[in-house]
Structure 1
Amino acid sequence: MDRTFELFDKLKLPLIKYILSDGSVKTPAMYNDIVVVDGGIIPQDVDPFHVSVAHGGSVPDETVQKGVSGILDDAFGPYKKVMAEDFKEGMKMLLEVDNFSTREYLKDPKHQNLDFFSIQWLETNNTSSNLFDQAFTESVIDSFDFDAPEGENWSCINGGTSLLMKGMKTAIKGTVQHYKRVKKVTMDEESNLIVSVHNESKPRDPYVTVFNTTSLGCLQRIDLTGLSLHPSQKDAIRSLHYDDSAKVAIKFSYPWWITDCGIASGGTGNTDIPLRTCVYPSYNIHDDPKKESVLLCSYTWSQDATRVGSLIKPHSPEGEEELLELMFENLARLHEQNFNTKPDAPKSRDEIKALIKDAYVTHHAFSWSHDPFTSGAFALFGPGQFRNLYPYLSRPAADSRFHICGEHSSAHHAWIVGSLNSAYMAVHRFLNRFDMLDDIEKLKKLWGTVDELDDGYKGTEHLQVALGLLKKGTHVRV
């Protein structure tokens, strides 16, 4: 994440500590209708949620004994170890098993050889519903991205991520145009790119190069027929898998999770009921406990997000009564034990729900799949897509003048650093295309290097640029 923090430094953004998890004894977890607070898991009780065969469940006892982290460390660990030592070599090793989904890899006799219910249990406790159907590569990289050295601090921008966008806009020389929808990009006889914009009477003056930074869902809606894209580039734009995600944030009249539940240092509450992950803010833990406070009640991905998202209205909070009722009910269920630790606290779930509901001020819910500017949350490739389609997506096209940028064009999906790495690689290929070698050195001096970029003497970057120069009707299998 160094490149992200370098950007923060250049823009002089104010950062404060973010508590992802502090091992708090107060954050709840609820699975199989059993609530555990404090982790509540004593060493001899390895199955507090009663999912094992011994407790009447379906997960083999030996699987539960080994634990979620133990099994996934065995599955992901060898690849993560190599990536930590040499990212390129680790990716090469990982791509050898890219045709597996995470579910298939864990089931495969040559690898983990787990049964259906073991894999289902791992998925439920590790990620979102049905997310193990996506590429094993994605699961490993996601785990790798969250691996931080002992004592490493997490940070957030004091004031929100919007400060990052405002800072970048201020730093850009020239005017940033808003509400301009590109309809078409084509190429003229001199290989310059012609961009047509909605509600503009004529195409714009020719561009030497276009860096496209939309999501792939938005890019698919732009007419690119004049760019002679390779068939597999078109296939990549259409079919590379995007995950769904939804958030529901509620402003309450006071932070009841702190004052009534003792959750005073951030972290998350996790469950298998619809809200799935409740995120307790850490930026305001020292604020006046009588002040209004916002709780990220639900943060979901994949099928969980699709189901919560079906209750979210695209443009207005009006009509979201069922969503709010679900959130109040789920919050009461998840925090029931936390409330019951105080002598004067409400005892029944209905009373807890009424207290939470009474503290409601307003809310904001958002589904990325409902947003026409994203058409999905972030790239999360399916089995085989990294190995087979990603190389086509990340190489330039149209005389190597059209570059597809964004987190989807990096190995680090869903992260700011993925977008930054993608931008770096696109600019590097642009400079390579026009033999601007001095500027390549300036780029390296300003922003260092990117592990993902294969630009050495025996690297593939020059081949990617050369393939982007091919004329229409010329196809080379790579």
Structure 2
Amino acid sequence: MKLNPRKHHALSLLNHHHETLNSIPPVQPHIRPANSVVNIGIIGAGLSGLYVALMLEYLQDPKFDYELLEANPDRIGGRMYTHRFSSSKHDYYDVGAMRFPLIPWMQPAFDLMTYLGITLESGLLAPFIASDQLDNNILLFNNQILSRKELNESQQATPPEYDPFRTGIVELKDSPGKIIDDQFLEFKKQLVEDWDKGWSNLMKYDSWTARQYMLFGSPLPLTLNLISYLEMVYGSNFTGIYDHALPEIVLDVMNFEHEAPIEWFRIEGGADILVLRAASMLSHKAKCGKRVTSISPAKCTGHEFPTGIELTINGVEKFKYSHVISTLPFTCLSLVDTSNCNLSWSIDTAFRSLKYIESVKIAIKFTERWWEKLPKKQLGGESTTDKPMHTVVYPSYGIGGSSAVLIVGYAWGQSAARIGPMVHGDKVQQCFLNTILRDLTEMHDIRDSMTGNIDYSILPGLMVDHHAWDWGNSEFSIGTVTFLVYKRCYPD
């Protein structure tokens, strides 16, 4: 699909915003002295903040200067975060972003990687194995265990088995992918044929969640039981995803529909290599531990109108800039005092209301790559389950080697909110760690070689260390990514 849904969506939102403006707000021009330097304050040294700094340096214009202000005293990078258990080559996992699909709206990210020398030729860009080529990745639902291969075979059999996990849902009369595709097919078709016309039609349902549409608005209405099943088993394994706006879900589905299989990539050595490379190209280092607590207009003696913007740092220091660019998530920006900025009620409401979903990752370092030694080897990809850990991600790097770090739990949304309280700092409560090890054992059918019984003692014996992160509980993110909320809740 050559259509770039996210690009068109962004343009539609901008056009709608422009239509709501009666006129350009009156602004008193501030006449700068000739050859004066425009000093720019960049709030946040995550990838967006670093990208802004790179663009300013790329201009090579001496009239522009900048400062990067980062609240985190320990690191830059924001949600590009890699944890290393040791200095060994593959003894790490990506706590934040870990995989990059080569699709149209991700092209700027790949352009940035190329600019920073992160390419296939340099060896820093490498394939991410989204699905094990042997189709051995596991699905464990309703205490039924199937490999991807077994699931595909069951649905292609004669007659096909559409309830392989023995749920008893009588409405399961096709594969999950086909059921979901049928729900949104007409919307997608219209958007591809004529974006403006298709978008206008889709906006008629902007007051609906995807769940409401599938229940009450679809020409092929589904039952609540079936929708809940699809939400868990199909694709994202994200409980609550269909409670988001229907347009968001339609666009999300379209983003990953292409004639050829989507290529996925990772950054060799950890995704934070991207951050470190970007930072190394800047002439100004980010100032860490500089939490912005207030943004307000800055006035100068002899001037009736503000001549800049004043930032208060940690409630004490005051820095003045000609211009400020905030790259903070709205969850964090809402905690900054902007009461003197004369923001509109709708903007303040957006700060408070924009929904950021939670995400939790848990990784364990083992003494060996036991998942590659099973009868059904797991060579990359991921396995999913309705157990609390939800998703197990097998590393695409170091296959056949000695480093043995496995993402044993990866959950989003409501699922992450439930296991998040088990994460304290960068560790998991022992009781939940025991649960994960037990569920891993059952999922991978790890048995005693002598008795043939499930052996729950093997994995605890192989465990060396673990690390966990709850993005919703991190003061520097307070969530992971945003999803559109249906218009009935928040009109604009």
Q: Report the secondary structure of 1:310's partner residue.
A: helix
Question: RMSD of the alignment, in Å?
Answer: 2.3
Q: Report the secondary structure of 2:150's partner residue.
A: coil
Give the Cα–Cα distance (whole angstroms) in 1 for the partners of residues 309 and 194 of structure 2: 38
Unaligned runs of 5+ in 2: 1-105, 119-123, 299-304
> 1:281-309 deviations in whole A, cap 9, x for unaligned?
11222x32xx2311111110111111121
Alpha-carbon distance, 1:47 to partner: 1.5
**Preserved contact between residue 105 and residue 112 of structure 1 (Cα < 8 Å):** no
Instruction: Return the TM-score normalized by structure 1.
Output: 0.72
Q: Which amino acid aligns with 2:419?
A: V
Give the Cα–Cα distance (whole angstroms) in 2 for the partners of residues 277 and 323 of structure 1: 15
Partner of 1:297: 408
Give the Cα–Cα distance (whole angstroms) in 2 for the partners of residues 235 and 74 of structure 1: 36
Alpha-carbon distance, 1:83 to partner: 4.8
2:147 is aligned, of 34, 37, 48, to 37
Matches within 5 A, 1:52-451: 57=168, 59-60=169-170, 63-83=171-191, 91-126=199-234, 127-188=237-298, 189-190=305-306, 192-198=308-314, 200-201=316-317, 203-205=318-320, 207-285=321-399, 287-288=400-401, 291-313=402-424, 315-317=425-427, 320-336=429-445, 339=446, 344=449, 347-349=452-454, 351=455, 353-384=456-487, 388-389=491-492
Alpha-carbon distance, 1:183 to partner: 1.0
Distance 1:110 1:169, change over 3 A: same
1:19 is aligned, of 125, 129, 140, to 129
**Preserved contact between residue 294 and residue 315 of structure 2 (Cα < 8 Å):** no
The answer to which structure, 1 or 2, has the higher relative contact order (CA under 8 A, 6+ apart) is 2
Alpha-carbon distance, 1:234 to partner: 0.4
Distance 1:210 1:273, change over 3 A: same
Distance 1:86 1:254, change over 3 A: farther
Give the Cα–Cα distance (whole angstroms) in 1 for the partners of residues 339 and 148 of structure 2: 58
Partner of 2:301: none
> 1:298-357 deviations in whole A, cap 9, x for unaligned?
1101111111211111x242x621121011011012111xx46xx9477323x1x21111
> 1:176-224 deviations in whole A, cap 9, x for unaligned?
21111001111132352211111644x212x232211111111011000
Distance 1:114 1:228, change over 3 A: same
Between stretches 41-50 and 116-125, larger displacement belongs to 41-50
Q: Which amino acid aligns with 2:430?
A: E
**Preserved contact between residue 256 and residue 262 of structure 2 (Cα < 8 Å):** no
Q: Report the secondary structure of 1:78's partner residue.
A: helix
Q: Which amino acid aligns with 2:274?
A: L
Partner of 2:43: none
Give the Cα–Cα distance (whole angstroms) in 2 for the partners of residues 214 and 346 of structure 1: 56
Instruction: Return the TM-score normalized by structure 2.
Output: 0.70
Q: Which amino acid aligns with 1:204?
A: F
Give the Cα–Cα distance (whole angstroms) in 2 for the partners of residues 345 and 112 of structure 1: 53
Distance 1:387 1:306, change over 3 A: closer
**Preserved contact between residue 187 and residue 198 of structure 2 (Cα < 8 Å):** yes
Give the Cα–Cα distance (whole angstroms) in 2 for the partners of residues 93 and 346 of structure 1: 62
Give the Cα–Cα distance (whole angstroms) in 2 for the partners of residues 3 and 310 of structure 1: 36
Give the Cα–Cα distance (whole angstroms) in 1 for the partners of residues 197 and 287 of structure 2: 41
Q: Which amino acid aligns with 1:365?
A: A
Q: Report the secondary structure of 1:167's partner residue.
A: helix
Give the Cα–Cα distance (whole angstroms) in 2 for the partners of residues 312 and 261 of structure 1: 33
Q: Report the secondary structure of 1:20's partner residue.
A: coil
Alpha-carbon distance, 1:175 to partner: 2.8
Give the Cα–Cα distance (whole angstroms) in 2 for the partners of residues 198 and 239 of structure 1: 25
Matches within 5 A, 1:45-56: 45-51=161-167
**Preserved contact between residue 359 and residue 480 of structure 2 (Cα < 8 Å):** yes
Give the Cα–Cα distance (whole angstroms) in 2 for the partners of residues 88 and 150 of structure 1: 26
Q: Greater share of strand residues, 1 or 2? A: 2
Give the Cα–Cα distance (whole angstroms) in 1 for the partners of residues 133 and 253 of structure 2: 19
Identity %: 26
**Preserved contact between residue 184 and residue 197 of structure 1 (Cα < 8 Å):** yes
> 1:86-142 deviations in whole A, cap 9, x for unaligned?
766655443332211111011124443111111111112123222221212222222
**Preserved contact between residue 380 and residue 396 of structure 2 (Cα < 8 Å):** yes
Q: How many residues align?
A: 368
Alpha-carbon distance, 1:8 to partner: 0.5
Give the Cα–Cα distance (whole angstroms) in 1 for the partners of residues 194 and 489 of structure 2: 18
Give the Cα–Cα distance (whole angstroms) in 2 for the partners of residues 345 and 20 of structure 1: 35
Q: Report the secondary structure of 1:66's partner residue.
A: coil
Q: Report the secondary structure of 2:295's partner residue.
A: strand
Give the Cα–Cα distance (whole angstroms) in 1 for the partners of residues 312 and 289 of structure 2: 14
Give the Cα–Cα distance (whole angstroms) in 2 for the partners of residues 386 and 89 of structure 1: 25
Partner of 1:8: 113
**Preserved contact between residue 132 and residue 378 of structure 2 (Cα < 8 Å):** no
